[in-house]
Amino acid sequence: MRFTFNFPDLGEGLEEGTILEWFVSEGEFVKVGDSLVQMETDKVVADIPSPKSGTIVTRYGNVGDVIHVGSPLVEIETEGAGKELGSGEDTGENAERVENIQEIADADTQGIVKADQPIPAGAEPEEGAAVVGTMEVAGEGALLAASDEGSGTDKPDEGLRKVLATPVARAMAKEMGIDINNVPGSGPSGRVKKEDILNFKSPSMEMSGRAETFKTEVEDVTYKPLTQIRKTIAKNMLHSKHNAAHMSVFEEVEISVLKEVVTRYKPKFADKEVKLTYLSFVVKAVAQALKQHPQLNSQIDTENNRMIYRNRYHIAIAVDAPDGLVAPVIRDADRLSIFEIARKIGELAQKARERKLVLEDMKEGSFTITSFGSIGGIFATPVINYPQAGILGIGRILKTPIVKDDEIVIGNIMPVSLTVDHRIVDGGETTRFVKRVMEYLSDPVSLLMDE
Question: Are 420 and 257 a contacting pair, CB within 8 Å?
Answer: no
What span, in angstroms and rounded, lies between the C-alpha atoms of 247 and 243?
A: 13
Asked if 384 and 421 touch (Cβ cutoff 8 Å), the reply is yes
> What is the phi-psi region of residue 382: left when phi exceeds 0, alpha when psi lies from -120 to 50, beta otherwise?
beta
Q: What is the DSSP string of 298-335?
A: EEEETTTTEEEE-SS--EEE-EEETTEEE--EETTGGG
Ramachandran class of 324: left when φ > 0, alpha when ψ lies in -120 to 50, beta otherwise:
left
Number of Cβ atoms within 10 Å of the Cβ of 149: 21
Residue 242 falls in the annotated catalytic set: no
- DSSP annotation of 374 reads G
Q: Which of 242, 293, 314, 422 is catalytic?
A: 422
DSSP code, position 140: T
Identity at 367, one-letter amino acid code: F
Residue 193 sits at φ, ψ, to 5 deg, of: -115, 175
**Terminal Cα-to-Cα distance of the chain (whole angstroms):** 62
- Amino acid sitting at position 335: R
Residue 212 and residue 216: Cα distance in Å, rounded?
6
Measured distance CA(132)–CA(95) in Å, rounded: 15
Distance CA 396, CA 161 (A): 47
Answer whether 349's CB lies under 8 Å from 206's CB: no
Pairing verdict, β 54-59 and 113-114: unpaired
How far apart are alpha carbons 169 and 213 in whole angstroms?
A: 16
Which residue numbers are catalytic?
Answer: 422
